[in-house]
Amino acid sequence: MNPKKLKQLKKRVKKAHQIVNEPSYIQELNTYRDLFDDFPPVKYLINNVLESDRLLKNGLLPHPLPKLLLPDNIQDTIFKKVNKQFPQGDPRGDKLWNKYSEALPKLDKALRNYRDYLEETYGMWSYVNAPFAKALSDYLGGAPTLEIMAGNGYISKGLRNNNATQKIYTTDSQAWIKENETGKHPVTKIEKLDALEAIKKYGDEVEYVIMSWAPDKGEIDWDVLQLLRSTYPEVKLLVIGEKDGATNSKKFWQEAQLSQDDELQKVNANLHSFDLIDEQIYLAK
């Protein structure tokens, strides 16, 4: 077999393998998309999730997502449509209504679990969408920047996409590789350094440090802030997380002086939280 045909065959095999191994979560959403094809508000939510996953699967930053919540009146809408399609008492209508009713709570749960899917599949914790990365890049204005606890590097990738000449140091301790997908699927070059080591190495070379979704166990985020305060007071710390919620330590939220000026609010407006987690970006001192 000549090399060209062999290459084509490998591509077909790889594509078939990808289809077979499509995550069950995505298979489930595709099934619901077919089932609710006649209900545009539902299909709109599902399509947004599927497109987000497609972009990430291809190494691209996703688009912002709407709130992944089913419309409050969706049961009434479905009931009216079924009644219009079948006369009252028709067993076909009862069967279809039961099928929709059984699927709705499962679909609702699946949509609410999209963040869990992102964490488990891509090691993506903060939902770094493309417009947010552009707004953050504009805010930084090309200033040299250090990202700590970068995970798979989505923020740094977004910044590099928008400004190829900006000096960005991307670091992560890779301590979570054995526990989840964080660090297993890097989307940009990442240097293996823990947060404090990274700051000590690059603190004199950068104007900003970015810390996203620091764990709520331990107080490494507080240690980071103390180190910056004592040794690198001119370096600005940008924190992405949910205040008093899913990210960071209680000590950090209690002690950090947080602010969001007008320019940072423009960046924050692009985070577009799609679930109950209210992640935001803050300047911390």
Render pLDDT for 71-125 as a digit per residue (tens, 0 to 9): 999 999 999 999 999 988 899 999 999 999 999 999 999 999 999 999 999 999 9
Place of tokens 């180190």: 227
pLDDT at 178: 59
Query: Residue 19: is its pLDDT beyond 80?
Result: no
**CB distance 196 to 178 below 8 Å:** no
Residue 239: which of 207, 213, 201 has the closest Cα? 213
Distance CA 11, CA 168 (A): 34
**CB distance 114 to 273 below 8 Å:** no
Distance CA 26, CA 68 (A): 15
Output the six-digit token pair for 284. 């911390």
133-143 pLDDT, tens digit each: 999 999 999 99
Q: Tell me: domain 130-284, CATH 3.40.50.150, correct?
A: yes
Q: How many helices (H) and strands (E) are present in the chain, helices listed first?
A: 12, 7
Phi, psi of 228 (to 5 degrees): -65, -40
E strand segments, 109-194: 145-148, 168-172, 191-192
250 Cβ contact list (under 8 Å, min separation 6): 244
Give percent of the chain above pLDDT 70: 89
**Residue 157 — pLDDT band, cuts 50, 70, 90?**
very high
Output the six-digit token pair for 146. 């250090």
Q: How far is CA 10 from CA 22, 54, 57, 235, in A?
A: 18, 21, 19, 49
Residue 170: which of 197, 143, 188 has the closest Cα? 188
222-237 pLDDT, tens digit each: 999 999 999 999 999 9
Distance CA 22, CA 54 (A): 11
245-270 pLDDT, tens digit each: 999 999 999 999 999 999 999 999 99
**Residue 15 — pLDDT band, cuts 50, 70, 90?**
very low
Residue ranges per structural domain of the chain:
3-122, 130-284
**CB distance 236 to 207 below 8 Å:** yes
Mean pLDDT for the chain?
90
